[in-house]
Amino acid sequence: MSGGFFEYQEMRLVDLAEPLRCKIALNRQKPAWASDYDINYSESFINEMSDIYNQIIILMAKLHRMDWVLSGDDGESDYERRLAIDLSKVELDDPCKDDEWLELARDLMC
């Protein structure tokens, strides 16, 4: 049963990743509507935030694929092959998508 081992708990990582990605966009773009509290991080710290965001997204994909194995839906031999496919679809931090994240930031008040 898919989702049986972790009970889809890996999806809770989205709750960490999305606000973090919003903060990254706010700090890169520094929109006029953002408060000083939102946009006061150094470039090196923004890079660290980006790295952590990427790690969370990758971890989420790995945990989801591991869940399939531990739940008996896939075997060990399927894990690497399917993980490679899943990871190829992962959208890592991309500064070109900051505008999309700023829209979300306004909605979520990140």
* Mean pLDDT of the region 24-50: 92
Asked if residue 45 belongs to a domain, the reply is yes
Asked if residue 95 belongs to a domain, the reply is yes
pLDDT score at 2 = 53
Q: Which distant-in-sequence residues (6+ apart) come within 8 Å of 59 by Cβ?
A: 10, 13
pLDDT score at 110 = 64
Quick check: 9 pLDDT over 90? no
**What pTM was estimated for this model as a whole?**
0.88
Asked if residue 47 belongs to a domain, the reply is yes
Range of the domain at 62: 9-108
pLDDT score at 44 = 98
Asked if residue 4 belongs to a domain, the reply is no
Give the count of domains, the chain: 1
Asked if residue 2 belongs to a domain, the reply is no
Asked if residue 1 belongs to a domain, the reply is no
pLDDT score at 32 = 86
